[in-house]
Chains A and B, each alone.
Chain A
Amino acid sequence: MQLLGILISLLAGGLLALLCDRYASAAARWISLTSLLIATVLWLPLWPQAGADASTWLIHTDTVWVQRFGIHILLATDAIGSILIGLTLLLGYIALLSSWGEIKHRVGLFYLNLLFTLAGVIGVFSAMDLFLFFVFWEVMLVPMFLIISIWGHENRRYAALKFFIYTQASSLLMLAAMLTLVLLHYQQTGLLTFSWFALTQTDTDSTIGWWLMLGFYVAFLVKLPGIPVHNWLPDAHTQAPTPGSILLAGILLKTGAYGLLRFVFPLFPQAAAEFAPIAITLGVISILYAAKLAFAQSDLKRLIAYTSISHMGFVSLGIFAWNSLSLQGTMIQMIAHGLSSAALFAIAGLLQQRLHSRDLNRMGGLWQLAPKLSAFTMLFSLAALGLPGLGNFVGEFVVLLGSFQVYPWATAIAALGMVLAPVYALFILQKGFFGPPNELVQNGVADLSARELLMLGILAVGLIILGFWPNLILDLSAAPIHHLLQRGG
């Protein structure tokens, strides 16, 4: 029941925040914090034990929802889901901390959307009924659309609409594929069900399986995002308010990766294996192409957005290489990217608040004026370029190590991203922080406040722990990944 409890506490917290907002402006924040705390307390017992039996599902809630179509409220997680839910909650706090000073109008409505997004994402990570999964997939989309279009920056309408159309069009494909799959299963067994556990037994080795796989793949590739369907992301990220960017980069992208991991291979082992070379090629192109685009940008948020695409290319590569090493690496990469991209977006937000600009060409010389902020930026930039000792390195290294066993050439080309990453990461430092003080910073810049220090400190500590003790995660994800590998052939 904990999963249901987490969802309810977030949804109820959101509604309560909206209602109380008219009485006291700070109430919405504290209510959100409380509901996040309740959710965290409920989540804590879900922290998986290392070396657990591969087939154990940590929790299992199953209630009939629509009898006639075999739709259930089926919530379950294994270690993969639990870890990602943990990441979601953590970044929920970060988003809350970053919104504390930034969001000033329609505060209650904002927190409603924030908490609903979190609930949607957690639902996605725990729904094992495909229909329910789809519902949560939509639940996380709409509030995020509102966050961008109401609290975003100058070009928010365009960005929000683009985000919505891309995601909605692709999830329609997924819905069609999903329904066909259910009918296929019905044809084979005479049983109408949306349960993941049942559907993974469906025989999908036919041509139709190939098309269904593609339907799911496109939906997840848009979310990941991967080239050539990535174009919503730079706009959405640039225009979203800071907490929105944090959630978007930190966890919404991970739902795409999670979908590939949980659905594409286990449901369509044959088709996915045949499709892997194409997906891997796209992944490698994502890594290099997006990195190249990143260092052409002078808008800080846009730059970070492109680095996200580049880093998620490693996730594509790791998942489609489909061996335990590459998948383990993917888990680390997802968490590390969640923390580091959230941190970079948070920093971009702090700079925008102080300088009212995101233009790197007009910054410069911040090191002198805001040493703490600069030191954190340096740390997170180094994480983004894959410095060993920070989480991202472990993720990329293990992914590449694993995928090299299967696709040596593609991996070797992907590794060239190691040369491009410092070009953009060091560009941020040089343009923004080194050099003489530029026009925007002439009037001085405030260094980090205690709240901001806490926010960035949590993320920094997380990345360092992940960099030096990645086994904390690797030990947990080993068993469920082994389990997935068995299902996914």
Chain B
Amino acid sequence: MQLLWLIPALPLLGFIILVLTRGQMARQSARLVGVGSIALSAAVTLLVASDFYAQNQSQLGFTLELWQWMSAADFNAGFSLYLDGLSLSMLFVITGVGTLIHWYASGYMWDDPDYSRFFAYMNLFVAAMLMLVLADNLVLLFLGWEGVGVCSFLLIGFWYKDPANGYAARKAFIVTRAGDTAFAIGLFLLFKELGSLHIQDLLQLAQIEFSVGANTPTLIAALLLGGAVGKSAQLPLQTWLPDAMAGPTPVSALIHAATMVTAGVYLIARCHSIFLQAPDILLLVALIGLATLLIAGFSALNQNDIKRVLAYSTMSQIGYMFFALGVGAWSESIFHLMTHALFKALLFMTAGSIILALHHEQDIRAMGGLRKQLPVPFWCFLIGTACLVALPPTSGFVSKEAILNASWQLPIYGPWLWAGGVFGACLTALYSFRLIFMVFGGESTCQPEEPKGWQFHPPLLILAVLSLFGGLLVLPAGAVLPASPDGHAPLLAELIAIGLPLLGIGLAYQIYSRGQWQQLRHAPRLSHWFEQGWGFDSLYQRLLVQPLLALSKINKNDIIDQMPIQLALVSSRLFTIFSRMQNGQLRIYVASMTAAAILIIALTVTL
């Protein structure tokens, strides 16, 4: 386990090598460095994991102190890594799925002139993400947290020549930064109240020092939640994710589906005992999750860009994870995080293959009939969608059923939340199979050229197998997190939960198969509103962006600068006035002297 530091260090080394060679390296070597570093990191993860299982039966956390990072007065933050079941689960996801996506990306990006820069950013991202999950204190976690944000910015704007991509990148960074600010203030408050930012200390101190439902833990949990909703694109900071699809597709798969966007879920799970002291906030987490998953579902139903459908679907699935956290299904949430990473990476990468095959066409209205022409992507996409829709026995079914089941157990609100979650599942089925029918069903209208070769099919097939059978995996996260509610939902409820997605598929078949969607004109306004993400973008635009821009335009020249300018102006005016008096005309001098003398005498007499 002493090798733990190698896991984030190897991708970082990859980044450094790629940066220092400044794209001078041959494409093949850049590929070797870029993909190899992640693969090695995955291999070390396996080594460390086998050590972790073998050496400690009780699965206690293991801390590896690298160096003292900052210490001032009574504040102390080490550059220290912490490994326990939860971080190990995340390591599996990041290095495992990360390797497959890098592998795929090495083919996907092959023709790009900035091949080496792409892998430099990707490697830096993985390093930062690994620091995020391995950090033993919240400051170091924040380092990873901001690091992944910057890499996301760089990769969304990777094709920098188009200003639209730059806009999407900045939007993603700034919106998430708003959440990060709440997170940072949460850290200050935590330190003020508990005197430490070391996660394991905090988890214990929170239980001792805070009483359940008191103001302080509620405020702290709310601030941490602010960070989480920003990073994970949940209400009300969700608007950046659909635009983030401007980045290359492997980026969407890695950052905006499998890893970074789930960091918020990880943060809440990591700080679980703080959230347990704030039951109101925990309920809020569930409600935010539920609202996001429904809103995103409706939006996904009305998108025509294949990547934007998937983006909204990611938002919606992370909504399920938040929902799970809120209802106390902690390990189920992490489990869904893992299965979602598998099947959503699969969906994105398959979508990438389709997009390449169609020469960068992303509009699903221009697709159709690809089932026969692109058999491998078709089957992969179908498997991914089956997981997304939670059809038994896929991994998605296992994880989503567990979440819904847990939500039923919650006192008072339980069945209501459950009903919302089940309705969301039906919605998921509807928009997912809309995609399937529109892309693969009907008559073919185009001539795709599928990218083939060892960089395209193998990673897809591996992920497809993992997505199908991932439900059998057992994650070590359970040992760290609080136990989930016991018991089962009634049989009828379970049957409904299984049945409703099927209903959604049927509905999708009715509406969207055989190209009937072209005649559809149901409520165009509503559908446009859904497509635009429920108007959040224009609301923020009017409420925040435009006033701020207007304000800064008005005051571009800094009103305070008028102070010295006016002072200078007044003194130069006074100067002109007084200098006129000194004009060399004796009679004026005499006249004014006399006038002044009379005035003074008059004043003295009257007073």
Show the binding face of A for B, using Cβ within 8 Å: 162, 166, 227-228, 230-231, 234, 292-293, 295-297, 323-325, 328-329, 365, 367-368, 371-372, 375, 382, 387-389, 393-394, 397-398, 400-402, 404-405, 408, 411-412, 415-416, 418-419, 422-423, 426-427, 430, 433-436, 468-471, 474-475, 478
B75 in the interface (beta carbon within 8 A):
yes
Are B174 and A325 in contact, CB atoms less than 8 angstroms apart?
no
Q: Which of B70, B157, B192, B552 contacts A394 (CB 8 A)?
A: B70
Q: How far is the CA of A418 from the CA of B180 in the complex (A)?
A: 8
Expressed in whole angstroms, the minimum distance between the Cβ of B274 and any Cβ of chain A is: 17
Q: How far is the CB of A5 from chain B (nearest CB, A)?
A: 32
What's the minimum C-beta distance from B203 to chain A, rounded to whole angstroms? 20
**Across the interface, do A372 and B161 meet the contact criterion of CB distance under 8 Å?**
no
Given A375-B19, A405-B192, A430-B167, 15 more A-B residue pairs with CB atoms under 8 Å apart are: A227-B560, A228-B560, A231-B561, A293-B556, A296-B553, A324-B72, A324-B73, A325-B74, A372-B22, A382-B150, A388-B143, A422-B174, A434-B160, A436-B161, A470-B69
| A474 in contact with B173 given A231-B558, A231-B564, A401-B191 (CB within 8 Å) | no
Binding site for A on B (CB under 8 A): 19, 22-23, 67-75, 79, 139, 142-143, 146-147, 150, 153, 157, 160-163, 166-167, 169-170, 173-174, 177-178, 180-181, 184-185, 187-189, 191-192, 548, 551-553, 555-556, 558, 560-561, 563-564
Q: Is the CB of B558 within 8 A of A234?
A: yes
CA distance A416 to B139 in the complex (A): 18
A–B pairs, 5, beta carbons within 8 Å: A231-B563, A325-B75, A375-B19, A433-B160, A474-B72
Q: Which A residues are CB-close (under 8 A) to B563?
A: 228, 231
Q: Given the complex, which residues of A lie within 8 Å of B143, measured CB to CB? A: 388-389, 393
Determine the residue in chain B with the shortest Cβ distance to A421: B177
Cβ of A471 and Cβ of B69 under 8 Å apart? yes
Main secondary structure of the interface of B (DSSP, over half): helix
Q: How far is B558's CA from A167's CA once the two chains are assembled, in angstroms?
A: 20
A138 to B147 Cα, complex, angstroms: 43
B72 contacts A328, C-beta separation under 8 Å: yes
Residues of B within 8 A of A404 (CB): 185, 188-189, 191-192
Bound Cα distance from A292 to B178, whole angstroms:
15
Provide the residues of chain B in CB contact with A411, threshold 8 Å.
185, 188
- Cβ of B146 and Cβ of A387 under 8 Å apart? yes
- B147–A435 touching, CB < 8 Å: no
Give Cα A430 to B173, complex, Å: 13
Nearest-neighbour CB distance to chain A for B422, whole angstroms, equals: 38
Contact A426 B142 (CB under 8 A): no
Judge whether A398 and B72 touch: CB under 8 Å: yes
Within the complex, the shortest CB–CB distance from A385 to chain B, in Å, comes to 8
Closest to A227 in B: B560
Q: Which residues of A contact B142 (CB under 8 A)?
A: 388
Do B555 and A296 touch across chains, with their CB atoms under 8 A apart? yes
* B residues near A234, Cβ cutoff 8 Å: 558, 561
Which one of A328, A397, A419 contacts B178 once the chains associate, using CB atoms below 8 Å? A419
A323, B73: Cα distance in complex, Å: 9
Per the bound structure, the CA–CA distance linking A427 and B187 in Å amounts to 28
Chain B residues with CB below 8 A from A371, complex form: 22-23
Whether A402 contacts B166 by the Cβ 8 Å rule is no
CA A227 – CA B147 in complex, angstroms? Answer: 32
Task: Give the shortest distance, in Å, between A419 (CB) and chain B (any CB).
Answer: 5
Nearest 8 A-B pairs (CB), nearest first?
A388-B143, A404-B188, A328-B72, A296-B552, A434-B160, A324-B73, A296-B556, A325-B73
